[in-house]
Amino acid sequence: MDEKAVLDILDRTRARLEGHFRYTSGRHGAVYIQGAQVFQHAEMAEKLCRALAGKFSGVDAVIGPAVGAILMSYEVSRHLGCRNLFVERENGVFKLRRNFSITPGERILMVEDVVTTGGSVKEAMAVCREHGAEIIGVGALVDRTGGANPFDVLFEALVRLDIPSWTEEECPLCKEGIPCVKPGSRPAV
Ligand SMILES: [Zn+2]
């Protein structure tokens, strides 16, 4: 699956929006990515997850950090023919709950819809390693890292997006007077 086909699905599912946004960081930018939008549409999510699964082999289980990667983990595991589970936060800390277990030496693929700093994936990886997992790689739909693999294992993504952001003072869209939107809420003032 080439990057154009991936971007087409991100656009059709409204996982990628173009406009003028204020991000959580407070910086402004012209593109907003919300991976969860893709998983509203099983048929398109299936296409992406099948393509991602094809980049890995020798996987015993797929793990996604809750909540964002649970559906993705399930769908990727289906194409790899292995089991899937998830880690979730308890008092702010990732844990294996619900009687999920990892056998020492199990080869685990971590998945996440969008990787920017990779912080939550790294945290989830550490928990899996405490249980004896061998992390064989990280798979993402969108790589927003800017090109540097933040992980100590193989990192594969379907598409790499370098999204510029600016402070409000230097934002060219503000200078043009385009209304700024904080995703998920009312337009910012
Ligand atoms: Zn702006």
Residue 32 lies inside a defined structural domain of this protein: no
* pLDDT reported for residue 25: 84
Assess if residue 171 is contained within a domain: no
Residue 115: what residue type? V
Q: What's the 28 CA to ligand 1 centre distance in angstroms?
A: 5
In a domain, 142, yes or no: yes
pLDDT value, residue 137: 98
**What pTM did the predictor assign?**
0.90
- Contacts with 88 (C-beta within 8 Å, 6 or more apart), sequence order: 65, 66, 67, 94, 95, 97
Assess if residue 12 is contained within a domain: no
Inter-axis angle of helices 3-12 and 42-53, nearest 10 = 150
Concatenating the DSSP letter of every residue in the chain gives --HHHHHHHHHHTTSEEEEEEE-TTS-EEEEEE-GGGGGG-HHHHHHHHHHHHTT--S-SEEEEETTTTHHHHHHHHHHHTSEEEEEEEETTEEEE-TT----TT-EEEEEEEEESS-HHHHHHHHHHHHTT-EEEEEEEEEE-SSS---SSS-EEEEEE----EE-TTT-HHHHTTPPPB-TTSSBP-
Q: What whole-number distance in Å separates Cα of residue 151 and Cα of residue 159?
A: 17
123 assigned to some structural domain: yes
Q: Per the domain annotation, does 176 fall within a domain?
A: no
- Cα 183 to ligand 1 centroid, rounded to whole Å: 13
Residue with tokens 């907003």: 32
Expressed in angstroms and rounded, the spacing between residue 97 Cα and the centre of ligand 1 is 42
The residue among 168, 159, 7, 140 whose CA lies nearest residue 72 is: 140
**Token digits for 187?**
């337009």
User: How far is the centre of ligand 1, averaged over its atoms, from the C-alpha of 185 (Å)?
Assistant: 16
In CATH, what number is assigned to the domain containing residue 59? 3.40.50.2020
pLDDT value for 187: 47
Average pLDDT over the chain, rounded to whole? 94
Adjacent-strand bridge partners of 25: none
Structure tokens at 172: 């060219």
Rg (CA), the chain: 17
Task: Determine the distance separating the centroid of ligand 1 and the alpha carbon of 27, expressed in angstroms.
Answer: 8
pLDDT above 90: residue 84: yes
Query: 152-183, pLDDT tens digit by residue?
Result: 999 999 999 999 999 999 999 999 999 999 98
CA 164 to ligand 1 center in whole angstroms: 12
- Tell me: pLDDT of 188 over 50: no
Question: Ligand 1 centre from 18 Cα, in Å?
Answer: 13
- CA-closest candidate to residue 60, choices 97, 112, 105: 105
Number of folded domains that form the chain: 1
Quote the ligand 1 centre to 39 CA distance (angstroms). Answer: 29
| Per-residue model confidence as pLDDT tens digits over 22-53 | 988 899 999 999 999 999 999 999 999 999 99
Domain limits for position 48: 37-161
Q: Is residue 28 one of the residues assigned to a domain? A: no
- Is residue 3 domain-resident? no
Distance 14 CA to ligand 1 centre (A): 21
